[in-house]
Amino acid sequence: MANPKRKWSKARTSRHRSLWKLSVPGLVECPQCHMKMLRHKVCKTCGYLDGKEIVKIDVTAS
């Protein structure tokens, strides 16, 4: 089957990619401690993910 070489021009692809990188940095605000955390990762500050405590963070030690 004949395939089109590309759907978009190179310029459009690179523009699209750079925008995607900007818009999805993987950083969200933690609903527990409102610090910036990595999306879909356990929050490093409070150890919460999806409203559940996944990792016990020792707040007394620091």
- Cα–Cα dist 43/31, whole Å: 10
For residue 24, give every residue at least 6 positions away whose Cβ sits within 8 Å of its Cβ, in sequence order, or none.
Answer: none
For Zn ion, the closer CB: 17 or 36: 36
What angle (nearest 5°) sits at the alpha carbon of residue 26, between those of residues 20 and 32?
Answer: 145
Restricted to residues 28-57, the positions that interact with Zn ion (CB under 5 A) are 30, 32-33, 43, 45-46
Q: How far is the CB of 21 from Zn ion (least distance, A)?
A: 24
Task: Choose one: 8-16, 24-32, 49-57; the region binding Zn ion (CB under 5 A).
Answer: 24-32
**Please, what is the minimum distance in Å from the beta carbon of residue 45 to Zn ion?**
4
